Amino acid sequence: MGNTTFNQLKDLLKKRILIIDGAMGTMIQRYKPTEETYRGERFKDWHRDLKGFNDLFVMTQPDMIRDIHKAYLEAGADIIETNTFGSTSIAMEDFGMQDLAYEMNVAAARLAKEACAEYNAKTPNKPRFVAGSIGPLNRSLSLSPDVNDPGYRSVTWDQVVASYTEQVRGLIDGGADIILLETVFDTLNCKAGIFAIDEYCRVNKIQIPIMISGTIVDMSGRTLSGQTTEAFWISISHTKNLISVGLNCALGVAQMRPFIEELSKHASCFTSLYPNAGLPNAFGGYDETPSQMAEVMEDYIQNSFVNIIGGCCGTTPDHIKLMVEAAEHKEPRTPAEPLPFLRLSGLEPVVVRENANFMNIGERTNVTGSRKFARLIVNGNYEEALSVARDQVDGGAQVLDINMDEGMLDSEEVMAKFINLMAAEPDIAKLPFMVDSSKWSVIEAGLKCCQGKSVVNSISMKEGEEAFKNMARRVLQYGAAVVVMAFDEQGQADNYERRIQICAKAYKILTEEVGFPPQDIIFDPNILTVATGIEEHNNYAVDYIKATKWIKENLPLAKVSGGVSNVSFSFRGNDTVREAIHSAFLYHAIKAGMDMGIVNAGQLEIYEEIPKELLEKVEDVLLNRRPDSTERLVDFAETIKQKGKAEVVAEEWRNGTVQDRLTHALVR
């Protein structure tokens, strides 16, 4: 299978609105199936009740399913869905049928394909497509089923990937033209599905178009796992061969308006909408009539919100027929062309626009960077460890760096556990996460728990180019951005030349060989400790800043970051001096183009407020302005008493007048 279906669909979607079919369940109900209908001949002695397992009909009542497919094709659908919404080994465990998953998917895809073939033969100029339906599963990777244990998950990423891979294999073997991940309420499950499809296609050297359709649970417009529409789009936008993104199920067609409008504004692919025929009524039925739905759809078409329309629960061939009419001879929406900004997400989006302000990445959720956090994690006091994360958010962090690299810990397990716990705290989970480890296995363990678009911290050419490329490709599959350290087989870059040479090489490999979006590359040209007394270290800050400027001027769209607190390790124990060093360092590095930094959020001194004498001595060191600058700063530091300043200041400003408080808040 080449990319021909993808191109064929793309060409069609440029010309007209395509129609996807309506509900399977509603049609099945018309047959009033009994337990015996479900069982058919093959499962008449099955040890579990099977009533309600609609997917089973592809094996036990194939004629019924084929007839339903035909009814939708007859109504004018261009795309019909396989009857496989729940046909994964994981969901089929409920019926003791997990071993039949592959067979069911093959059977279902074949039925749909046969029905399409019949119509394609009749109308060769109107090709019909089979979308292999993949549902969201009955187990969630983002949500705990146990209210008393928010970090618990009833399934693992690897299990979901394995189960989806089997389903994908069955659907493709049975002849599906498209894979449709639908009714996504948990973006992490969806990302595992994307990963499964991508890996399956990579291994088998095939390509298949993908459609993704999310669902929302109420008028807040959030997914069940809590994401806003834009955050959802950002989280899945790495999907290769993505033909469309959209919404289905959920509310009635009219209530979908703000959310499909929002999605259509952001999505660089085509969009789809196939809602329920209204909300379920008291009897579990659906009341919106074909003409009511078609009328609203027509409005959405006029407003260029949609490229593919159809129906979900409660819709029938009559609904589809009127949608076909509503879509006829209409101009289809043109996909959005989002600017190439770095876009991250947690429950909410973070977009790093051109000329964006400096972005704070909270450093404290790091067992090697905070004794307190390390103690809490080692002792299993996760409750309080979460408050460390929360304090960083309150202190202004826009991303959280998480590091669990400590010899006494099972870092993979603890990384996963802590991220899962943070996922249950909306005030923390609204932020994107930066998964920080020097071990790739720990980074992967973290990525498997992030529903948003996170940042990998970090990869480098330390173990050679092949290893580097392999990690970068994996990062793409997980849908993350990446920090690249200026490190190669010869070691860490510690001068200007090595810094820019390594970054330039990494950029070339990533953009030209791996296909990494340049805006998702964040270089870290090594913030190393100054004022150590070793002469070779004197130019470290200068070289970092110079390298930053070079990267920003020569590696288009790439970002620059760094671990800011590293620079001042020589002054451990003297926070006043350290904070002055950090803010003076940032003042110059940001001017040179530094986009973001790992910092102790909430503890950054304001440059203009650094006492003159201290600032001069600090800048002498940072900018390597005189040979004795280290001694002079060390001597001066002795004279500065620790005041526990940050805390005091933080409270004092609240006693000012309204004018003073506003000024303070604005300056901050």
Residues that bind ligand THG (CB under 6 A): 363, 366, 369-372, 403, 436, 457-458, 483, 524, 527, 562-563, 565-566, 572, 598
Nearer to ligand THG among residue 372 and residue 626 (C-beta): 372
Nearer to ligand THG among residue 225 and residue 566 (C-beta): 566
**Token code pair at residue 328:** 């006829």
Nearer to ligand THG among residue 363 and residue 412 (C-beta): 363
Nearer to ligand THG among residue 83 and residue 600 (C-beta): 600
Nearer to ligand THG among residue 225 and residue 366 (C-beta): 366
Residues 6+ apart with CB under 8 A from 564: 363, 527, 582, 585, 586, 597, 598, 599
Query: How far apart, in Å, are the Cα atoms of 244 and each of 13, 109, 212, 247, 310?
Result: 10, 20, 6, 10, 14
174-202 as b/e, with b when 16 or more CB fall inside 10 Å? bbbbbbbbbbbbbbbbbbbbbbbbbbbbe
Closest CA to 3 of 200, 156, 205, 164: 205
Q: H or E stretch including 481?
A: strand 481-485
Q: Report the C-alpha gap between 356 and 350 in whole angstroms.
A: 11
Nearer to ligand THG among residue 243 and residue 359 (C-beta): 359
Closest CA to 402 of 358, 455, 460: 455
C-beta of residue 197 within 8 angstroms of C-beta of residue 168: yes
Nearer to ligand THG among residue 225 and residue 457 (C-beta): 457
Nearer to ligand THG among residue 253 and residue 598 (C-beta): 598
3-state secondary structure 564-579: HHHHHHHHCCCHHHHH
Please state the closest distance from residue 428 (CB atom) to ligand THG, in A: 18
Nearer to ligand THG among residue 369 and residue 479 (C-beta): 369
Please state the closest distance from residue 359 (CB atom) to ligand THG, in A: 13
Please state the closest distance from residue 515 (CB atom) to ligand THG, in A: 23
Residue-by-residue DSSP string for 601-640: TT-PPPGGGS-HHHHHHHHHHHTT-STTHHHHHHHHHHHP
C-beta of residue 137 within 8 angstroms of C-beta of residue 155: yes
Q: Report the C-alpha gap between 200 and 55 in whole angstroms.
A: 23
Closest CA to 56 of 74, 29, 37: 37
Please state the closest distance from residue 553 (CB atom) to ligand THG, in A: 21
Give the Cβ contact number of residue 426 at 10 Å.
12
Give the Cβ contact number of residue 112 at 10 Å.
35
Nearer to ligand THG among residue 348 and residue 363 (C-beta): 363
Q: Using DSSP, state whether 480 is helix, strand or coil.
A: coil
Please state the closest distance from residue 534 (CB atom) to ligand THG, in A: 18
C-beta of residue 297 within 8 angstroms of C-beta of residue 289: no
Closest CA to 502 of 515, 490, 518: 490
Nearer to ligand THG among residue 228 and residue 370 (C-beta): 370
Nearer to ligand THG among residue 116 and residue 596 (C-beta): 596
**Token code pair at residue 457:** 């911290």
Q: Report the C-alpha gap between 485 and 525 in whole angstroms.
A: 6
C-beta of residue 273 within 8 angstroms of C-beta of residue 305: yes
C-beta of residue 482 within 8 angstroms of C-beta of residue 521: yes
With residues binned 3-state (H G I as helix, E B as strand, rest as coil), the percentages for the chain, rounded to 5, are 50, 15, 35
Nearer to ligand THG among residue 210 and residue 604 (C-beta): 604
